[in-house]
Structure 1
Amino acid sequence: MTKADCDFAVLTVQDAELAAVLDLAQVIGEDRSFPETLYRVRLPDSGLAGVVMPVGGVGRVEGAIATSLLLSRVTPLRLYLVGIAGGFEARGVALGDLLVADYIWDYEMQRLSDIRNESRPRLFSTDHDLLSAASAAEKSDWQKGLPRVNGSRPNVHFGTVLSGDKVIASSTLVANFLRENERLIGVEMEGAGVAAALARYPIPVPFLMIRGVVDYANDDKREQSRVWLTDACAATAAFTFAAIEHAHDTNRARSEQ
């Protein structure tokens, strides 16, 4: 597959995330020559051709490896990392809402000493045009037909998302992070690795991360995730495909001017 016939690529992590994405796409082929299956898909409404691949593990390292593996097989016009995340209730995020990262904040880098520990976060930006397309998609009817636990509809939040290798289930730790950066809206585990791999790739590939909120990264994390996993994955997949189609339409309109 070449760049010309790969309009987009989607990376997922959990099985439920992959299933939700494939459920909305037309699978037209599978490549099992690598450890992770590469699914060739088309979007039913627009006919856009792309690929979907599971990351195969959790955390920044797995995200970076999966990105490098994906880019050794295809060169997509756009790359999306989609899945679930913890949302920060103090920032107005509700369970079932969506997070669109304009920046990804890798919090893992630190200097540890006997005197004090020093945080040295690394900040990655996502693609401006893909953010604009996601903003346009937010105003569309992408929510039509979505199931919801309590009958409500998800809101979309744009902001900075934490990324690291730790499963965060602590209100105290969340509060500490929020004091460091008022734009933080949630936390996940692979985005920084994907962004780091793309930063080293010789061909620029526009990147965006979209996450569905299944918990508040607190003590109730497991129970909240159990309730919201299916609906959050379905919403994330629907919104991602709407964002992909808006990005394609915008780019086509520009090329025709």
Structure 2
Amino acid sequence: MEAEGLPLVESLGLRRDEPSRIAPPAPCVTFSGSRHGIDIHLVCNGKCAVHGVDNVGTVPAALTTYLALQALRPDLVVSVGTAGGFAARGAKIGDVFVATGFANHDRRIPLPGFDKYGVWACGAHPVPNLQKALKLKEGVVSSGNSLDYCQQDWDQMVASSAAIKEMEAAGIAWAAALHGTPLLALKAVTDIVDGDRPAQDEFLENLAAAARALQETVPPALEFVAGKTLAEL
């Protein structure tokens, strides 16, 4: 979402690319710059031309990532955004988690082989040194296309040992895997999934605070990454 990305544009000193580095008709918006000797490209899904809101969900995320990987050829993809967190997994509002893996929780295909394809569980690139240096929490990120959830979604998130619930990362992971590009994810908690308040209320209340948490975490994360091999992360 733009509300998540624009504070990072400011803190990283990026400039909007005119035209976007991802050509139309894709609605993606790109920002570019350099920091600590590395080239940084921040890519947003853009706005829905029909409804005027941010394009969210796994489909825009997968499409944007696929096109960005083709256009920019990055060495590393970082999925950055806000998310719901599970108190049972130690999440509190404003915490930033680094992903240990990804899964879908709303792709239910009860056919042999397709059941696992629907979940499409995969690992994130391990970054134990980054996690320790920035004192980040860790856990599996589970993705779906609804802000709320039903009982079947809940059951799958529990089965995946999810610590974080959001709407993009599994789609990004699929696209990154196609290109063989390593992926890590940093997710700031806006709402408590296993709490007693509606997700939309907590999300709206805490979005700005979570965006600030990302603004405080992403620049030092990039500084840590700079000059290191993937094995050193």
Category of TM-score, reference length = shorter chain: 0.7 to 0.9
* 2:99 alignment partner in structure 1: 101
Indicate how the Cα distance of structure 1 residues 101 and 243 shifts in structure 2: closer, same or farther if over 3 A, else same: same
Name the residue aligned to 2:169. 191
TM-score with structure 1 setting the length? 0.73
Structure 1 residue runs of 4+, over 3 Å off?
A: 172-179
1:169 to partner: Cα distance:
5.3
- In structure 1, runs of 5+ residues without a counterpart are 1-13, 140-155
Give the stretch that moved more between structures: 64-73 or 22-31. Answer: 22-31
Tell me the residue number matched to 2:139. 159
Alpha-carbon offset, residue 106 of structure 1: 1.4
Give the TM-score taking structure 2 as reference length.
Answer: 0.80
Shift of 1:222: 2.2
Change (3 A) 1:109 1:177: closer
Question: Quick one: structure 1 residues 226 and 122, their matched pair in 2 at CA, closer, same or farther if it must change by over 3 Å?
Answer: same
How far the C-alpha of 1:52 sits from its partner, in A, is: 0.8
Q: How does 1:63-142 map to 2 (within 5 A)?
A: 63-111=61-109, 120-128=118-126, 131-139=127-135
- The 8 Å contact of residues 13 and 33 in structure 2, kept in 1 or not, is answered as yes
- The match for 1:59 is 57
Gaps of 5+ in 2: 47-54
Are the counterparts in 2 of residues 100 and 158 from structure 1 also a CA contact under 8 Å? Answer: yes
Shift of 1:174: 7.2
In our comparison, the structure showing a higher alpha carbon Rg is: 1
Q: How does 1:30-69 map to 2 (within 5 A)?
A: 30-33=17-20, 34=23, 35-43=27-35, 46-56=36-46, 57-69=55-67
Aligned pair in 2 of structure 1 residues 133, 69: CA closer, same or farther (>3 Å)? farther
For residues 133 and 63 of structure 1, the distance between their equivalents in structure 2, rounded to whole angstroms, comes to 27
Partners in 1 of 2:123 and 2:82 — Cα distance? Answer: 19
3-state DSSP of counterpart to 2:73: coil
CA apart distance, 1:226: 2.1
Change over 3 Å in CA distance of 1:198–1:78 after alignment to 2: same
Is the contact made by 2:8 and 2:215 (CA closer than 8 Å) also made in structure 1?
Answer: yes
Aligned residues: 213
Structure 1 vs Structure 2: percent identity of aligned residues? 24
SS in 2 for 1:93: coil
Contact preservation (8 Å) 1:67, 1:198: yes
Distance 1:236 1:110 in 2: 32
8 A contact 1:86–1:215 mirrored in 2: yes
